[in-house]
Structure 1
Amino acid sequence: MKHQFFVGTKELQLQKKLVTMNVKVYRRDYVNKHGMSPVYLLITSQGKRIRQRLPIEVRPEDWDEKKGRFKKSAENAVGYNIAIENEIAKIKDVRLVYYISNKELTLEQLVQEYNNASSNYCFVAFMEKYVEQQNIKPGSLRKEKSRIAKIKRFQKEIPFSQITIEWIERYIAYMAIECKNNPNTIDSNIRTVKKYLHMAERYGIRLNINLSLIQTRTHRSNRVNLSFAELDKLKDFYFSSYINPRLKLPLGYFLFSCYTGLRINEVKKLKRESIGKTITFTSDKTGKTNTIPLNNSARSFVEHYPDLFVKWISEQKMNDYIREAVNFVGIRKRVSFHTARHTFATNFLRKGGKVEDLQKLLDHSDISTTMVYVHIVEKEEIDVSILDD
């Protein structure tokens, strides 16, 4: 099957910049010992031709020579044919970028750009390149890389021309069904996609989608936190003689964070010898160095268990063991290590702490982020007050 790009009036307008190129998909006659033949792109322009092998093989009987595609009856035909279309879309995107940049594109340059997976036409490569060039704080960098990795798991290579509203909807479905993400997580990931598409537009890359049609909204977050009574149960369990040894270390770190508000990566960086009446740490999100006073409760967890801030376990095991400890003492809440930070914030306000002080302790650059905890506590007070005469 041949593909001729920029046909009709549009082609005439571009002939000075881009010569006509044709692409044919074909199966080579060679058959290997497994009975498979390689699939190639044949790109021709002005009497020149270049063959480009694709990472696809086909059984001769499964190939439609006329269409240059897998026969519908072939196993995984839909997936393989989509992969072929993706390769052709990459070539189209290279040509579009050169047109936008007012550059002449030769056949040799086209193949070079195609093989280099240029960030100018691959959305994933564009995001990765942009992140590499920015001075992003460690915490934010991890979050960006995590979101890009999720996109790559959904689709490894994404030509800009493929990103449509339908693509966005498929990605949302993937996050909801395959990743089991909640609505807030899905929306934050879609906002990331939209952000990078806006950047691509500013760099002159033509998109196939109206970005105003990508709608997201913030869902009310259910920030699970533990009450003082629930913390007392966990503290009693931590100091008890009957606690399972494997739960001691993760529960100690968790309780320490419940009384300091530190994130898991901030806790990881602390050394036992540096813990005294104060602790100094680098904020995981802003990169700023902070010093905060250490209360007696937090200090008691460290003094009780010598392995605390000496040994560490994986974050996944940490969360699993924390949930096991929480369930053991009869707390029926969905808890992770980050629950400790929410617990610290809400309990600080429950004790009458000032929101301005909490903002500093949590190292929030915007007080509106801290106000979320104020609203949680206010709602509790309203719920209780309806019982009064």
Structure 2
Amino acid sequence: MATVKVVLRKDKVNQNTGLAPLYLRIIKDRKSKFISLGVKVEPKYWNEEKSVIRKGAVNYQELNNFILQKRAEAERTALDIEGTTKSATTKRIKDEIIGKKPSNFFEYAERKLSELKHTIAPSTHTTYGFYIGKIEKFLGHKNITFQEMDIDFIKRYEKYLYEEVGNKPSTVEYSFRVIKVMFNYAISEGIVDYNTYVFRQYKFKKPKAVKNYLNEEQFQALLKYEPPKQFLYDVYYDMFVFSCYAGGLRHFDTLELKWSNYNEQEERITKVIRKTKRKHQIKLPQKAVEIIKKYKTKKSKKSDFIFPVLSNDIDYDVSKELIYNVKNTINGKTNHFLRQMGRDLELPFTLSFHTSRHTFATRALNKGMRIEHVSKVLDHTDISITQVYAKIVNKELDKAMEIMDD
């Protein structure tokens, strides 16, 4: 329960007049906030025990009545807040007393998500909503302001995500990223003061991303694997192997390849990549060509998809929502199969379609492809991104040299 006291701030004595200011001091959970009363007196006239101005000071009776009134108002406000919310901090009580209405985080986030629905990718919109929901689950309510999302809150939330939810560092980092996004929007709109931005003081150590890939032994085992001929598992398998050969083409880019993207004479794929929005060309190696030839029939049209997963009769670019829903559904089915295949192959990590991209990069470097060429094939914007794979290959070489110690 919060307590309200009137205190004389001797640490703020005016050296010229000898007067010290009076403040309301709000105390809760061993934390304090001060509110100036706009009254100054000589320290000798202040009765600390009774919290009143002694007789002899100018207008002491009127000032004592004023102090008593302000203290009573503050105590009523504190009681009201504690009776209506679970997040009654000293900051919240102080803001209410001085008439500064704090901004509710959830009210703002929900309104902002509604505004952003048609301006950001559906996947991003859904993800933001999911992570905001995690905050509500942690709190058990929606009554928290931006101002109350301080370092103490962030530390408690981080502990909850790690210890109770069992999140990995990358997931915790994204949880904080969503909070940062909402803070930045609110600050830019003048709704929240920059001084309340908790991440000015709290720095989350971003974890290093682990890039799982198939080494040569695992890759050869993959090529010998026989997928079940049901639920399109054999097609998902071919798409994965194709990507391992075809420059690590991402899942949805592979999925929406059409015969119009393929130059049969040059054995080359030309396509605008979804993520980068750039036109990209890949000269296919023979192993990749052999895979897609399996799906070419006399009835195949230029407008048909190479891999028979998407319907040739649907225009998937009609809306972002349609693309997002289809992408999510098929991605889930593909990775469900790949996880099972990974278990069958006894891989030490969870297999996903993106593993094909990492596998292409490490195999290409191991086989002597120049790093700038690998970067170009992967459609990286900066060669420094590709250098991560070079470090992986170097570690493999270092490990290989250990046989000399045997």
TM-score by length of 1: 0.62
What does residue 401 of structure 2 align with? 385
Aligned mates of 1:272, 1:363 — CA distance in 2: 21
Counterpart check, 1:309 vs 2:297: no
Aligned mates of 2:380, 2:394 — CA distance in 1: 20
- The alpha-carbon deviation at position 373 of structure 1 amounts to 0.6
What does residue 153 of structure 2 align with? 167
Counterpart check, 1:154 vs 2:135: yes
Aligned mates of 2:401, 2:368 — CA distance in 1: 17
Is the 1:127–1:148 Cα contact (8 Å) retained in structure 2?
no
Is the 2:131–2:178 Cα contact (8 Å) retained in structure 1?
no
Is the 2:255–2:309 Cα contact (8 Å) retained in structure 1?
no
What does residue 215 of structure 2 align with? 227
Per-residue CA distance 1:270-296 (angstroms, 9 max, x = gap): 224533422233333322222222222
Amino acid at match of 1:152: G
Q: 1:188 to 1:342 in 2, by over 3 A?
A: same
What SS does structure 2 have at the residue aligned with 1:387?
helix
Out of 108, 113, 116, the position equivalent to 1:128 is 113
- The alpha-carbon deviation at position 173 of structure 1 amounts to 3.4
Is the 1:191–1:216 Cα contact (8 Å) retained in structure 2?
no
Is the 2:147–2:196 Cα contact (8 Å) retained in structure 1?
yes
Q: 1:347 to 1:279 in 2, by over 3 A?
A: same
Counterpart check, 1:182 vs 2:186: no
What SS does structure 2 have at the residue aligned with 1:82?
coil
Aligned mates of 1:218, 1:67 — CA distance in 2: 41
Equivalent runs, 1:137-148 vs 2, <5 Å? 142-143=123-124, 145-148=126-129
Counterpart check, 1:252 vs 2:254: no
Per-residue CA distance 1:210-233 (angstroms, 9 max, x = gap): 433222223333211002332222
What does residue 320 of structure 1 align with? 336
What SS does structure 2 have at the residue aligned with 1:386?
helix
Q: 1:84 to 1:192 in 2, by over 3 A?
A: closer
Aligned mates of 1:143, 1:348 — CA distance in 2: 32
Q: 1:84 to 1:219 in 2, by over 3 A?
A: closer
Equivalent runs, 1:220-299 vs 2, <5 Å? 220-238=208-226, 243-246=228-231, 247-260=233-246, 261-276=248-263, 277-299=267-289
Q: 1:219 to 1:173 in 2, by over 3 A?
A: same
What does residue 86 of structure 2 align with? 82
What does residue 217 of structure 1 align with? 205
RMSD between superposed Cα atoms in Å: 4.4
Equivalent runs, 1:326-365 vs 2, <5 Å? 326-365=342-381
Out of 169, 179, 184, the position equivalent to 1:193 is 179
Per-residue CA distance 1:197-218 (angstroms, 9 max, x = gap): 3554454312545433222223
What SS does structure 2 have at the residue aligned with 1:280?
strand
What does residue 317 of structure 2 align with? none
Say how many residue pairs are matched: 302
State, as a whole percentage, how many aligned pairs show the same letter. 24
What SS does structure 2 have at the residue aligned with 1:194?
helix
- The alpha-carbon deviation at position 372 of structure 1 amounts to 0.8
Q: 1:328 to 1:167 in 2, by over 3 A?
A: same
Aligned mates of 1:198, 1:263 — CA distance in 2: 31
Per-residue CA distance 1:308-339 (angstroms, 9 max, x = gap): 62215632221121122233244443211111
Aligned mates of 1:282, 1:174 — CA distance in 2: 42
Q: 1:133 to 1:297 in 2, by over 3 A?
A: same
Q: 1:217 to 1:160 in 2, by over 3 A?
A: same
TM-score by length of 2: 0.60
Is the 1:123–1:159 Cα contact (8 Å) retained in structure 2?
no
Is the 2:183–2:197 Cα contact (8 Å) retained in structure 1?
no
Is the 2:235–2:307 Cα contact (8 Å) retained in structure 1?
no
Is the 1:154–1:174 Cα contact (8 Å) retained in structure 2?
no
